[in-house]
Amino acid sequence: MDKGYIEIEGNRITDVVLGRKPEGDFIDMTGKFVLPGLINIHSLDFVKEISSKYIKFFTEEKAFYQVEKLLAESGITTVFHTFTLDKFSEGRDLEEVIEKLTYVKNYRKRRFLIDHKVHLKFKLGDINLNRKLKALFDAECVDFVTCTGYHSEILEEYQEQYYAQYLQNQFEIDEELARKITERLRELREESALDELSYKMKFAKSRKIPFAVSKCELVEKLKETYKIGIDLLVDPKSEKSMEYVSCNNLSASIDVESLVDENSIIDYVDEMADDNINILSASNRSRDILEYVFNLEGNIGLPKAVRLASYNPAMALGMHDKGEIAPGKEADIIVVDIFEDLPINIMTISDGKVIVKYNYN
């Protein structure tokens, strides 16, 4: 729009007026792109910082602040810090895990620039998983969970081959019968894992925690057997997955790195154009999201590209007060200018406060 203004009161947008200039004091952003703050649902930036060998020279709080500052400067106003449960809990007791995740989640309540949330990834097959998840959910330190499969799939494939050979030798049966026996055992294992997953999903949903999976096969079986739907399919890699997403009107996310993966069999830009991929995240470099959004402008148009990292993730994960510039929404806004053909975030407004402001002129 050529003219217009946004009114903010406290941490909320109270009005969006088109076609005329405001009266009184205002921040003039003529010629700039005014966009909703970006949302990254899968960030490893902080996890990498606290896993670095250099962390011993700094406090975790300082590392957290450095990451937060970089995210805010990159236009990110809501970030989901992703923790893989088995890796993150290695060498830590459950109380310490809860303490660490609570620190991240409650950072906003102490001294904040942006909104911090916790994304927990886990694999099935851990006998202590139910106890761990219940404790984490009870502590209210998790905002989003993703099941990434079964933790011993590679080992079990090897064991199946070994067991089939053992059956042939021990009971003098042919290869075909041994194969059928091992296949049936695999089916029983999968049924058990699916039953376990359905329990986890029901438990998460009872706490109103969004639930995602990374395998299309799990989504199909959950729907067929337990009549349970998921909130999101994460990083679909196969054509079958994309077909399922398309046919079932399912939200699906990919990492920005998938857009430059030369070995990918899927044209993710085409899938975005068809609304099959509707969320863009960045696990390793959150600061890349803004640039990728503008790079996609020529393929799918800027409005749709912006929604990939704002409105769509907000709706998929139940954050209905975020993701767009509209009355009643949280005042999370960024202002972008083009500098030497690159999109540069020159202002970040988070929770109604200006937290980043630059002048490139």
Q: What is the pLDDT of residues 134-178, one digit of tens each?
A: 899 999 999 999 998 776 554 455 466 666 777 777 777 888 887
For the chain, percent of residues with pLDDT exceeding 90: 45
Write the class of the CATH domain 35-330: alpha beta
pLDDT tier at 208, thresholds 50, 70, 90:
very high
Q: Using an 8 Å Cβ cutoff, are 104 and 116 in contact?
A: yes
**Alpha carbon 311 to its chain's center:** 13
Say which residues have a Cβ less than 8 Å from residue 234's Cβ, sequence separation at least 6. Answer: 42, 146, 148, 212, 213, 214, 252, 253
Structure tokens at 122: 């886990």
Residue with tokens 């009107």: 249
> DSSP class of residue 252?
E
Neighbours of 97 (CB within 10 A): 21
Nearest alpha carbon to residue 10 among 331, 327, 321:
331
* Domain assignments of the chain as residue spans, ordered by start: 35-330
Once rounded to an integer, what is the mean pLDDT over residues 320-347?
A: 95
Q: Using an 8 Å Cβ cutoff, are 285 and 266 in contact?
A: no
Task: Give the pLDDT of residue 240.
Answer: 87
pLDDT tier at 21, thresholds 50, 70, 90:
confident
